[in-house]
A and B are shown apart, each in its own frame.
Chain A
Amino acid sequence: MLTIMKFLKPYRWQIVFIILFTLGGTTLELLLPTLMAEVVDVGIVNSDLPYILQTGGWMIACAVLAVIFTVAVMFFSSKTALGFSKDVRRSLFTKVESFSLQEVEKVGTASLITRTTNDIKQVQDVLNMIFNMMTRAPLMLLGGIILAVMREPSLSLIFLASLPALALTIILISRKAIPLFKVLQKKTDRLNLILRETLTGIRVVRGFNRVEYEKKRFNEANEQFRDTGIKVNRIIAFVFPLMMLIMNFTNIAIVWLGAVRIDNGVMQVGNLMAFLQYAAMILMSLVMLSMAFIMIPRAQASAVRINEVLQLSPDMKNPDEPETEIAAAGTVAFQNVTFRYNGAEKAAVENISFKAEAGKTTAIIGSTGSGKTTLIQLIPRFYDVESGSIAVDGVDIRKMSVKHLRGKIGYVPQRAVLFSGTIAENVRFGKEDATDQEVAAALETAQAIDFVTEKEQGTSTAVSQGGGNLSGGQKQRLSIARALVRKPDIYIFDDSFSALDYKTDAKLRKALKEQTKKATFIIVAQRVNTVRDADQIIVLNEGKIAGIGTHQELLESCTIYQEIVSSQRTEEESA
């Protein structure tokens, strides 16, 4: 929590103002009961009308000034709290944008999103509350106690009993309620999970006639949720009545003891009235303070999560003096490359050496988990190798600016990712200044032109978030077009045709072949069919190269390759 507070530094003057104005406002408010006591003790007792009116005038002045101060506090505190969250949000976002995949995976995408949105909101809300409540409540508490003690020191001893009683009540109840709130949250999640499952699996549920089973599952979760909800709310039902009881009993005690003192002639009635009001102020401040302390841990957890991200420094560094390329454009050379994911025992890829050249196709095949995707993700430096080196155009990629390196590559990930915007904007993601013709050409090669022109607005058709309004195959083709429009030296396709039907797939590959004559073409595939014509096929098995060569060579020499071929042959041998 404290570390994140350094973001408040630019707002230190505003915070000073907030404290000053709060002090002013609180003092004025504390003055009101004092003035009222004067009205009673001096004005009414002496039947002094001008005095009453004059004091009344002061009271109004106090009220007006108090509200001006409070408005000023509101103004500065909302600007500061929102400004703070704006700054934190920005540095968090910028930070994440600087992360390599390694750091993103460490935290998790979903978690990063929550941290940038919800967690910041949490901290902002609490900060706002601190400004309004945490500055005010202690001042009020302190001021109230000072005034009370000044007026009636012995009567103030009552607070020694009622303040701890109040604090204890709040602590005890929140101790009981807070863990239950967590349980309740879990029950809510469970309920949502079941509901979502029955929705997505509705065909299976009905197909297997398990409607009753699902109903039972839901009802169980629902009842658990209900019972916990009742428990929580019944505990909370104690809070307010108990607080009121303590405060009211304090009042009774004050009246009683006050009566005794008035009887003894050591106290005036106006003073008793004022004292009662101070008591109310003191106790309410304490309630607010304890509420604030209950809320802070919530923000604390959020602040910790935000800090975790801010303190994560990307270990990937750009070289100070980038070297210039020496080999022909499009050459990718792996030299004894080993890489393991953070904290993994086993290397994801181990001792990989090969060379991919311009105008040639290099295919990588192997079973799931054999390290294919990892291998190609090393090329755009999404991760840094652990040992060995990767050279692009003859230069170690760590000695090249990351931007320059990635500019050479057209990367098509396994899962097509699109952004909200138009189709054209999504294609231009690959090359910002691409002309309309270039966009159209890329779409044509990617076999996307047909479905795009079929749309009423053509390339200006809006793509919804995550490409929700397009089919899987359409998304994939657009993500291929995005790579094509760059006309890069190196194409990397990570099993990028899986959502396409056979016909489109075949046409697309034919068009690609014509388009990428000069470029280096690195593809990851599952099917032998896809890789058969490649210039070299790399067979990966458990992160290691099990064989490199052409289809024919591997058929003769590589057992793993033979295994893959025979497993896929069952369906093709008859053809």
Chain B
Amino acid sequence: MTEQKENQHNTPSSKPRRSGPGPMPGPGPGPSPMMPGEKPKEFKKTLIRLTKYLKPRKIQLIFVLIAAVFATLFNVISPKVLGDATTSLFNSFTEGTAVDFRYIVQLVLILFGLYSLSSLFAFLQQYIMAGISQWTIAEMREEVNEKLTRLPLRYFDKQQHGDILSRAVNDIDNINNSLQQALTQVITSVITVIGILIMMLIINPLLTLVVVITIPLSLIVVRIVTSFSQSHFMKQQHELGQINGHVEEMFTGHQVVKAYGHEEKAVAQFDEINDRLYQAGWKAQFFSGLMMPLIMFVNNLGYVFVSIVGGIFVMNGTIRIGDVQAFIQYSRQISQPMAQIASIANMIQTAIASAERIFTLLDEAEETPEQPANIDLEQLRGEVTFENIHFGYEKDQPIIEEMDIEVAEGQTVAIVGPTGAGKTTLINLLMRFYELDKGSIKIDDVVLTDISREEARSMFAMVLQDTWLFNGTIRENIAYGREGATETEIVQAAKSAYADDFIRTLPDGYDTVLGEDASNISQGQRQLLTIARAILSNPKILILDEATSSVDTRTEMNIQKAMNQLMAGHTCFVIAHRLSTIRDADLILVMNHGRIIEQGTHEELLEKHGFYADLYYSQFSEAITAS
């Protein structure tokens, strides 16, 4: 009689059913069922660790499990009940007796209950699972984020940002998909297969054999199709990457492509990749599309065999007609989990590989937590002493050896050198973004490592060329300098930074929301805001990176004035580009190839006739002769 699920298989186009909730629109593409998943290195270990994240929701998970068992169980029983109804009808039909309505009503009521309960439990299972997976994933995401806050700067400098982002976003998303879909699917599939096998064996062991024969056939089909399509999918993925890369490059470089008349060549190159993409693409699509029709075919064969063999058995009287009907349904239902094996296995594999990457990140060595020292930092004046410091980014490549520097309160240290000379190294050491290999840095008499990192950093403020601002209002961005700053303090800081004027010309004033990368204000204005932020933080010591990039002259005058204001009365470390800053500095550190190669005052260094003198004359010769 009924074939309630028939069409799911008879229709090649229908995607394998996902018993879990629908797709999550995430930033990264989810794993395609046909794509070979990345192989995790330690499957078992990672899996065990991953299950630990589900522990807090153990009870809900048990509920899901129970709901899944019930939903499947009722689903598995109903064909047999329908079959009984058919048998009863058939018997009264062949025997010419009246239909046994009392029995039919009974069966219909049972069916009514079974279907309702099955749907109810299926719903509950998914409903609860939605909460479980989202909570688990949110917790994991938070853990990753917390971890990031404890990792040393070294990690971020070595690792590409894109890579870290992809772990925190795509990889977690993969696990999410797998939790939401694969987990419930695995449970349902296992119960379905076992339940159906039991039901079939109870009804008729011989007919069961007919159905079971088609199972390995389905598996073989899955195997063959997957092996064909995978290589094409991989090729397609590769060409897709190529073409996207080409498009991105040509479009972002449009101006240059135009200026140098490269349009035709760009198109020719595009055509080549596009054709390769087409070749790989249609084959991938075709072969993967074969999966469903072929499984459906195997299914249909089973259907026909069951019909014929069942028909013969009915004639022999060894089986009832309704049982044949039930068998047809069972043969459909049992093949469904089979067809999904490949995609579920793939999804799990991808999730485990993702989990592995996340766990590697979670296992990275952290900065050791430090307790705040019992020292009143407010009393410090801002003398900075470097005592015999040694440092290298790599253990075997020291770039600073035995360096001693003494900077008195209020003095300015200029750091000069060609681009890429490693001028940020000193910032890294002062702010304790990196730790020294040997020696110590002292503020007055306090060794930086004797106080906590947070305390050490609270004594500094930096204004970097890379004007980092975040997506928030201007007020929030300035207030970033110090927690709990009042409105008056914020405005005062903006005024001192010569930023108040331009802020007031903006339609929303201090409430203007800075867009992504703060692209709605100019580079110079961004710089002014970072200065205001630094002023607000009221530091003992300043770290400045003078701008070389092009900002218009008036803003630049403001920046200069603001910087001077900021520097007055503070101990300053300046990555200097301006002649005046360099000449007026109390100490100049000359850097090249990552090392400090000379140090002294302007006059002392000129007398040395070394690198600095060379640099100075070549850089500023025009300026010198001009005035």
- CB of A290 within 8 Å of the partner chain: no
Task: Answer yes or no: B123 CB below 8 A from chain A CBs.
Answer: yes
Q: List B contacts of A399 (CB < 8 A).
A: none
B227 an interface residue at 8 Å Cβ cutoff?
A: no
Q: Tell whether, in the assembled complex, residue A33 and residue B252 are in contact, meaning their CB atoms are under 8 Å apart.
A: no
The answer to whether B281 touches A244 (Cβ under 8 A) is no
A569 and chain B: residue at smallest CB distance: B627
Question: How long is the Cα–Cα vector from A200 to B119 in the complex, in angstroms?
Answer: 49
The listed residue (A94, A230, A233, A466) touching B252 by CB distance below 8 A is: A466
Distance in Å: Cβ of B34 to nearest Cβ of chain A: 13
Instruction: Verify B311–A193 contact, CB threshold 8 A.
Output: no
List 21 A–B pairs whose Cβ atoms lie within 8 Å, in order of A's numbering: A32-B10, A36-B303, A56-B307, A79-B286, A193-B516, A195-B168, A195-B169, A202-B153, A213-B480, A234-B130, A244-B4, A248-B111, A259-B89, A259-B104, A260-B99, A280-B2, A504-B418, A526-B552, A567-B554, A571-B560, A572-B623
Contact of A204 among B119, B293, B296, B464 (CB under 8 A): B464
On chain B, the residues within 8 Å of A237 by CB distance are 21, 123, 126-127, 129-130
Task: List the B residue with the shortest CB-CB distance to A247.
Answer: B4
Q: Across the interface, which residues of A come within 8 angstroms of B2, CB to CB?
A: 251, 254-255, 273, 276-277, 280
Which residue of chain B has the shortest Cβ distance to A177 in the bound complex? B22
A417, B253: Cβ atoms closer than 8 Å: yes
Please tell me if B52 contacts chain A, counting CB pairs below 8 Å: no
Q: Would A262 and B89 count as touching, CB distance under 8 A? A: yes
Kindly supply a per-residue 1/0 record for chain B positions 271-284, scoring 1 wherever the CB is within 8 Å of any chain A CB and 0 otherwise.
10011011001110
Q: 10 nearest interchain CB pairs? A: A502-B619, A367-B552, A233-B130, A284-B7, A132-B13, A237-B126, A78-B285, A368-B552, A201-B468, A226-B138
B432 to chain A, nearest CB (A): 9
Q: Kindly report which residue of chain A lies nearest to residue B279, judged by CB atoms.
A: A82
Q: Looking at the complex, which one of A132, A218, A254, A269 makes contact with B12 (CB distance below 8 Å)? A: A132
Q: Which of B68-89 contact A (CB under 8 A)?
A: 78, 82, 85-86, 89
Q: Is the pair A86, B260 in contact by a Cβ cutoff of 8 Å? A: no
Contact B248 A465 (CB under 8 A): yes
- The residue on B at minimum CB distance from A230 is B134
The CA of A45 and the CA of B99, in the complex, are separated in Å by 17
Closest beta carbon of chain A to B302's beta carbon, Å: 10
A135 to B615, CA, bound (A): 74
Of B7, B556, B579, the residue contacting A280 (CB under 8 A) is: B7
Is A238 touching B123 in the complex (CB atoms < 8 A)?
Answer: yes
Chain A residues whose C-beta falls within 8 Å of the C-beta of B312 in the assembled complex: 49, 52
Please name 10 further chain A to chain B contacts, defined as beta carbons within 8 Å, in addition to the given A74-B293, A215-B149, sorted by A numbering: A137-B13, A192-B27, A195-B165, A200-B161, A208-B533, A222-B145, A226-B134, A244-B122, A367-B553, A406-B260
- Asked whether B141 lies within 8 Å of A209 as measured between CB atoms, the reply is no
Alpha-carbon distance between A90 and B247 when the two chains are bound, in angstroms: 11
Find out whether the CB atom of A78 lies under 8 angstroms from the CB atom of B286: yes
Cα(A100)–Cα(B93), bound, Å: 80
Q: Which residue of A137, A367, A403 is within 8 Å of B261 (Cβ)?
A: A403
Smallest distance from the beta carbon of B276 to chain A beta carbons, Å? 10
Q: How far is the CA of A472 from the CA of B419 in the complex (A)?
A: 9
B321 CB to nearest A CB, Å: 7
Closest to B259 in A: A411
Set of chain B residues within 8 Å of A272, measured between Cβ atoms:
1, 86, 89
Distance in angstroms between the alpha carbons of A112 and B253 in the assembled complex = 12
Residues of chain B with a CB closer than 8 A to A280's CB: 2-7
Most buried by B among A129, A503, A564: A503
Q: Please indicate the chain A residues that have their CB under 8 angstroms from the CB of B248 in the complex.
A: 113, 465
- A-contacting residues, B1-60, CB 8 Å: 1-8, 10-14, 17, 19, 21-22, 24-27
- Tell me if A482 and B260 are in contact (CB < 8 A): yes
Is B297 in the interface zone, CB < 8 Å from A?
Answer: yes
Write the chain B residue with the least CB distance to A482: B260
A419 to B119, CA, bound (A): 57
Contact with B along A60-81 (1 / 0, CB 8 A): 1001101100110011011101
Question: Which A230-246 residues have a C-beta within 8 angstroms of B?
Answer: 230, 232-234, 236-242, 244-245
8 Å CB contact of B266 from A97, A254, A284: A97
Bound-state Cα–Cα, A418 to B345, Å = 42
- Interface set, chain B 236-264, CB cutoff 8 A to A: 243-245, 247-263
Contact A67 B297 (CB under 8 A): yes
In the assembled complex, A568 has its CB within 8 A of some CB on chain B: yes
Q: Is the C-beta of B498 less than 8 angstroms from some C-beta in chain A?
A: no
What residues of chain A lie closer than 8 Å to B115, measured between beta carbons?
A: 244-245, 248-249, 252
Contacts of A230 in B (CB 8 A): 130-131, 134-135
**Is B63 an interface residue when CB atoms closer than 8 A count as contact?**
no
Structural contact, A215 and B146, CB atoms closer than 8 A: yes
With CB as the reference atom, state the residue of chain B lying closest to A377.
Answer: B255
Q: Among the listed stretches A152-160, A180-188, A324-332, A353-361, which one makes contact with chain B, having 4 or more residues with CB under 8 Å of it?
A: A180-188
CA distance in complex: A236, B122 (Å): 12
Kindly identify which residue among A64, A82, A206, A247 contacts B278, using a CB–CB cutoff of 8 Å: A82
Cβ contacts A267-309/B at 8 Å (1 or 0 each):
0110011001100110111001000000000000000000000
Interface presence of A104 (CB below 8 A): yes
Contact yes or no, B11 A269, CB < 8 A? no
A281 touching B6 in the complex, CB below 8 Å, given contacts A181-B25, A382-B255, A417-B256: yes
- Measured CA separation A75–B259 after assembly (Å): 43
Is B555 among interface residues, defined by CB-CB distance under 8 A? yes
Q: How far is the CB of B522 from chain A (nearest CB, A)?
A: 6
Number of B interface residues in the complex (CB < 8 A):
173
A3 within 8 A of B: no
Closest to B10 in A: A29
Determine the residue in chain B with the shortest Cβ distance to A100.
Answer: B258
Looking at B211-219, B357-365, B383-391, B455-463, the stretch in contact with chain A turns out to be B455-463
Give the distance to chain B from A564, nearest Cβ to Cβ, in Å: 5
For B277, the chain A residues whose CB sits under 8 A away are 86
List of A residues within 8 angstroms of B507 by Cβ: none
A447 to chain B, nearest CB (A): 12
B349 contacts partner chain A, Cβ-Cβ < 8 Å: no
Contacts of A256 in B (CB 8 A): 104, 108
Q: Give CA–CA (A56, B301) in the complex, Å.
A: 10
Say yes or no: A526-B122 contact (C-beta < 8 A), given A33-B3, A197-B471, A234-B130. Answer: no
Which B residues between 281 and 332 are near A, CB-CB below 8 angstroms?
Answer: 281-283, 285-286, 289-290, 293-294, 296-297, 300-301, 303-304, 307-308, 311-312, 314-315, 321, 325
Are B243 and A117 interface neighbours, CB within 8 A?
Answer: yes
| B555 & A83 in contact (Cβ 8 Å cutoff) | no
B397 to A: closest C-beta gap in Å: 18
A263 to B100 alpha-carbon distance, docked (Å): 9
Q: Is there an interface contact between A233 and B180, defined as CB atoms closer than 8 Å?
A: yes
With a CB–CB cut-off of 8 A, which chain B residues contact A195?
145, 165, 168-169
Contacts of A479 in B (CB 8 A): 256
Q: What is the distance, in angstroms, from A442's C-beta to the closest C-beta of chain B?
A: 13
Known: A188-B25, A259-B104, A288-B14. A45 touches B94 (CB 8 A): yes
Q: Which residues of B contact A362 (CB under 8 A)?
A: none
CB A384 to nearest CB in B, in angstroms, measures 13
| Complex-state Cα separation, A407 to B259, whole angstroms | 8
Give the residue name and chain of the A residue nearest to B255 (CB): A413
Interface centre among A93, A203, A239 (most CB of B within 10 A): A203
Q: Which residues of B contact A137 (CB under 8 A)?
A: 13
Which of the segments A162-170, A343-351, A389-397, A493-501 contacts the partner chain?
Answer: A493-501
CA distance A568 to B560 in the complex (A): 10
B557 at the binding interface (Cβ < 8 Å): yes
Q: Give the nearest-CB partner of B616 in chain A.
A: A502
State whether A207 and B24 are in contact (beta carbons under 8 Å apart), knowing that A52-B311, A247-B4 are contacts in the complex.
Answer: no
Task: Flag whether A557 is at the interface (Cβ < 8 A).
Answer: no
- A219 is an interface residue with CB less than 8 A from chain B: yes
Q: Chain B contacts of A177 at CB under 8 A?
A: 22
The answer on a CB contact under 8 Å between B27 and A188 is yes
Which of B13, B243, B304, B315 lies at the interface centre, i.e. has the most chain A CB atoms within 10 A of its CB? B13
Residues of B within 8 A of A128 (CB): 285
Q: Is A435 an interface residue (CB 8 A)?
A: no
Write the nearest CB–CB distance from A438 to chain B, whole angstroms.
15
